[in-house]
Amino acid sequence: MKRFLPVRIALLCATASACVPIAQPTAQTVTQSTMAERPALVLAIVVDQMRYDYLTRFEHEFTGGLRRLLDEGAVFTNASYEAAPTVTAVGHSTFLTGATPSVSGIAGNAYYGRAEGRMIQSITDDNVTPLGGTENTGDGGGASPHRLAVTTVGDELKISGKGGKVYGVSLKDRSAILPAGRDADGAFWFGDTGTIVSSSWYFPALPDWVQAYNATRPAERYLGAEWLGRQLPTEASAGFFARLDAAPFADELVLEFALQVMHEEDLGTDQQTDLLAVSFSATDYLGHATGTETPQMRQMILSVDKRIGELLAAAEEQAGRGNVLVVLTADHGVALAPEDNIARQLPGGRYDIEAERAAVEAALVAEFGEGDYIEGTGELGLYLSRDPLPGKTIALADMERVAVATLRRQPHVARVYTRSELESSHSGGDRIDQRVRNGFNRQHSGDVVVVHEPNWISRATGTTHGSPYSYDSHVPMIFWGPKTLVKPGRYHVEAAVHDIAPTLATMLEIATPSGAQGRALAEILP
């Protein structure tokens, strides 16, 4: 077994009190002077909740990885998610499958399981065992990609025989698992106590080097750390870990562990193409808490710029300059906080999702009599009971009719869709209609899907995402690599995130993932 840390160490110091050792890998088989036929290492990077306009708003302050990607990469200025809900699991699954929820099987962060009678996380798997702890893992048990119904770029690399190792790393479980795919060598994420967690889907026990890493209690290096005048708790409490997630220190931990994976697994050091998917999540935790228009968010994006720069530098040192291919995007954007809209005399506010549900229930009772009509409510809509009144059959279409009529009378409801119409029609309508159709999955979505007016959200504080509108769907999309693979420049054509997987497949000369619905972006191919 290798030593836990290589000999060469750099210090990543966000504060004087919190210095984190970062593994600096060294190139082994692949040299800097000789480019392989295919890239030795693919870095697939997601920045959680990064609106596209963060790139343009803060571009003049970038000095790290975002600076390099913007200056040297193929930058799509008009790239979007063409499915809703725009949430973490959907974005991360679409990223390297090229499939929207209608095909991928991942229709949201969670869905209502009729058989189980409860909400189920998209990566929950009761047939596998959590490794390293149960916290932040599915519904508190096992987690895996078993609900992903299609292949990823990493899966196709494996099938082709051209690929080597595939790993996913993130703060969040779904953000590590879903981009990596079903045939990945491993997915790692940070549990609620700041140590690495994984699943028996990948291996029977955590690798020794991961256990050694956990023994250092890496997150606790940040006890009492300060950021923009705010100090983290000095004790390793639940409050400490929650606040850590919304600070740049969380992304530093993700970077540190991603570099450990790169080093310990020798990624990018032979003639096979390895893939490392890395998702930075601190932006999402901060955005939900404070909104987009804060000094903290500016500083967070600048920190992301630095972390990505360090990741690129380490990848080039290990795989060799010219042997690294990078693609970067976000899993979704985010709405302005309603208070920010109001301050600018713009429309927007907070609606009461429970009041909407109560109104629908009352209308169904009035129409059909006392019964249990709604089984679940979530980001995927209302789940109507198939047996609301024992001994009396009520057609789903009739319950849909009452629910739709009621919801259309609720304030700030813009559109309402039913299972019946979404299952029967796959085209037509405007872009919003099509995004809702792309986001509807027959197995997991609800029976009634609601779209509210722009900038109206259900979250009681802060802000959120999930809508089909541009502020949630318009995201960065950048390819960066050798000019034999990527033609740099700014591209203003319309593109979709589900175009990434077919494009990577073309570059890597492998089969397009099985459910991909996009196109290879020929304009950036030399």
pLDDT of residue 125 exceeding 60, the answer is yes
**Same-domain pairing of 328 and 357:** no
Of all helices (H) and strands (E), which one includes residue 473?
Answer: helix 470-473
**For residue 314, what are the contacts with CB-CB under 8 A and spacing of at least 6?**
22, 23, 24, 25, 259, 262
Q: Is 77 helix (H, G, I), strand (E, B) or coil?
A: strand
* pLDDT, average across residues 299-314: 98
Distance CA 104, CA 81 (A): 14
CA distances from 86 to 306, 334, 391, 474 (A): 26, 9, 39, 10
Q: Is 371 helix (H, G, I), strand (E, B) or coil?
A: coil
Distance CA 304, CA 283 (A): 9
* The pLDDT of residue 116: 86
* The pLDDT of residue 428: 81
Is there a domain that residue 63 lies in? yes
Is there a domain that residue 204 lies in? yes
Question: Cβ atoms within 10 A of the Cβ of 360, count?
Answer: 25
pLDDT of residue 519 exceeding 70, the answer is yes
pLDDT, one tens digit per residue, over 57-98 is 999 999 999 999 999 999 999 999 999 999 999 999 999 999
pLDDT, one tens digit per residue, over 161-199 is 998 999 999 999 999 999 999 999 999 999 988 999 999
pLDDT of residue 32 exceeding 50, the answer is no
Distance CA 250, CA 419 (A): 40
- 419-430 burial: b if 16+ Cβ within 10 Å, else e: beebeeeeeeee
Is the bond preceding 295 in cis, omega lying within 30 degrees of 0? no
* The pLDDT of residue 136: 54
**Same-domain pairing of 277 and 131:** yes
Q: How many residues does the chain have?
A: 526
Is there a domain that residue 496 lies in? no
Nearest Cα residue to 43 out of 260, 267, 304, 290: 267
Range of the domain at 505: 9-339+468-489+501-515
Is there a domain that residue 252 lies in? yes
**Same-domain pairing of 20 and 116:** yes
* The pLDDT of residue 138: 55
* pLDDT, average across residues 334-339: 95
Nearest Cα residue to 497 out of 148, 96, 166: 96
CA distances from 440 to 63, 76, 101, 435 (A): 40, 26, 6, 9
pLDDT of residue 481 exceeding 80, the answer is yes
- CA-based torsion, 55, 61, 66, 72: positive or negative: positive
Q: Which of 12-26, 134-148, 324-338 has the lowest mean pLDDT?
A: 12-26
**Same-domain pairing of 442 and 321:** no
* The pLDDT of residue 487: 98
Distance CA 210, CA 208 (A): 5
**Same-domain pairing of 447 and 476:** no
* The pLDDT of residue 8: 30
Per DSSP, helices labelled H in 265-395 are 282-290, 295-319, 338-343, 353-368
pLDDT, one tens digit per residue, over 217-231 is 999 999 999 999 889
Contact 440, 106 (CB under 8 A): no
**Same-domain pairing of 78 and 168:** yes
Distance CA 141, CA 127 (A): 9
Domain of 24, CATH number, reads: 3.40.720.10
Distance CA 187, CA 93 (A): 14
Residue whose token pair is 């769907």: 473
**Same-domain pairing of 164 and 18:** yes
pLDDT of residue 11 exceeding 60, the answer is no
**Same-domain pairing of 270 and 307:** yes
**Same-domain pairing of 310 and 421:** no
**Same-domain pairing of 220 and 278:** yes
pLDDT, one tens digit per residue, over 377-424 is 888 899 999 999 888 899 999 999 999 999 999 999 999 999 999 998
* The pLDDT of residue 20: 42
What's the predicted TM-score (pTM) here? 0.93
Question: Cβ atoms within 10 A of the Cβ of 344, count?
Answer: 10
Is there a domain that residue 344 lies in? no
Please, which pLDDT band fits residue 31 given cuts at 50, 70 and 90?
very low
Alpha-carbon dihedral 124, 125, 129, 132, rounded to 10 degrees: -20
pLDDT, one tens digit per residue, over 340-367 is 999 999 999 999 999 999 999 999 999 9
**For residue 30, what are the contacts with CB-CB under 8 A and spacing of at least 6?**
36, 40, 268, 269, 270, 271, 319, 320, 323
Is there a domain that residue 43 lies in? yes
Distance CA 6, CA 314 (A): 13
Q: How many domains does the chain have?
A: 2
* The pLDDT of residue 9: 33
* pLDDT, average across residues 282-298: 95
Q: Give the CA count within 13 Å in the CB-facing half-sphere of 488.
A: 12
For residue 142 the two structure tokens come to 């096992």
* pLDDT, average across residues 225-249: 93
Is there a domain that residue 388 lies in? yes
* The pLDDT of residue 18: 42
CA distances from 397 to 3, 117, 174, 389, 426 (A): 63, 22, 34, 15, 18
Contact 439, 100 (CB under 8 A): yes
**Same-domain pairing of 228 and 86:** yes
323, burial (CB in 10 Å: exposed 0-12, middle 13-18, buried 19+): buried
* The pLDDT of residue 416: 97
Is there a domain that residue 525 lies in? no
Domain of 383, CATH number, reads: 3.30.1360.150
What value does the mean pLDDT of the chain take?
91
Contact 378, 108 (CB under 8 A): yes
pLDDT of residue 56 exceeding 60, the answer is yes
* The pLDDT of residue 229: 86
Distance CA 193, CA 170 (A): 15
* The pLDDT of residue 501: 98
**Same-domain pairing of 144 and 292:** yes
